[in-house]
Structure 1
């Protein structure tokens, strides 16, 4: 997986072009059939039991100036947010923005907490509701459920870049692309939402299939926190 909130949406990446050497014929990317693309993505996800990484996230408006999505003020557009994320499949997710402001999104599998220390406020939502709005959570999700909800395409058989398009017409985003390195670690996500905004998330210092303490995914609101149920 909005990363919401000041909630900033999260998400996944574009496609690569292959060009031939000079004086040779152009080499065109070979697209993959949808069923095979889905199987390829499932293979990538099932081999990713857990991972931790640093992230850098930027949201930009495409074309004409549009009203920002709910919870995302205009000051967040074109601004880069940085932080750390940790994922353990299935269902465990930790996303903490550290700069330029702080926010934490965490779930152990059923409830998602979005905590804003500056506002001393924590939003509590069911995981099923939040997954549709926070594509970054897809990385921690159940593979079979993900495949039921999205069409998967792969524009180049030589590149581990997958585009997920929601089957539901009322989805909060139009499509989401995920790119993987040769060793199976996610490298980036690009999200195009329904309001004409693109959120790009790049991962660095990625550690695949590492042991993550259980306490990472357990959230207890600090004393005095205003809790909002949605």
Structure 2
């Protein structure tokens, strides 16, 4: 069940008109532009819709990804982020699941299974790129190569520098007021995950209790 809410990233915004070549930014310029977008983001709340599809010539993975029954479904919920390192992601439909962290430990709670998975932040970031929104900008830039296909548009593609990453690339698109609107992730197993954000509120006050998680009594705790 943890797999169904792996929040991840890459973008599809409007392309330049036909016959007009978009001018890409240099890697240094793209990195600087993304840093500026993220640096202005102190906190964020937003609703999300997430869908994952698998390429027809690939076999749906059975670990570190979504099982076949979760593919082509749309999961809805709410995300709350406060930098640095605080992240809350709760799926409400078609079933409930919560991912929450204050920086070092990530909890994934599934009330239907009465189970809470506990992981280190470093391990979970590889599988949940949406956590990048709550991370340290310098660390992000050290871990990813950044490109900006069209310097006039605020979308960026991040490619992991590590060869053992769980995904091949992700793209992040920003809308008005530098709020994220879309993330699309392509992983190494043929899955594409699209996350669309709506009703985003930038730099709103978020109660500290949002990011505190205590497993309910009777919950089975699994360390990974």
Pairwise same-fold verdict (TM > 0.5) = yes
User: How much does 1:109 deviate?
Assistant: 1.1
Runs (5+) with no aligned partner, structure 1: 21-25
User: How much does 1:15 deviate?
Assistant: 4.8
Partner SS for 2:45: strand
Aligned to 2:202: 208
Matching of residues 64-213 of structure 1 within 5 Å? 64-70=57-63, 72-213=66-207
Q: Aligned-residue CA RMSD in angstroms?
A: 1.5
Runs (5+) with no aligned partner, structure 2: none
Cα distance in structure 2, aligned partners of 1:125 and 1:221: 14
Aligned to 2:26: 33
**Residue deviations 1:78-132 (CA, integer Å, cap 9, x gap):** 0000000000011000000000011100001111000000000001111122111
**Residue deviations 1:131-175 (CA, integer Å, cap 9, x gap):** 111101000000000000000000001110000000000100000
Cα distance in structure 1, aligned partners of 2:179 and 2:110: 29
Determine which structure has the larger helix proportion and give its number. 2
Cα distance in structure 2, aligned partners of 1:40 and 1:223: 46
User: How much does 1:67 deviate?
Assistant: 2.2
Q: 2:37 matched to 1:44?
A: yes
1:120–1:4 Cα change, 3 Å: closer
Cα distance in structure 2, aligned partners of 1:122 and 1:154: 38
- Structure 1 length as normaliser, TM-score? 0.93
Q: Is the CA contact 1:150–1:167 (under 8 Å) kept in the aligned structure 2? A: yes
Q: Is the CA contact 1:111–1:125 (under 8 Å) kept in the aligned structure 2? A: yes
Partner SS for 1:93: strand
Cα distance in structure 2, aligned partners of 1:96 and 1:177: 22
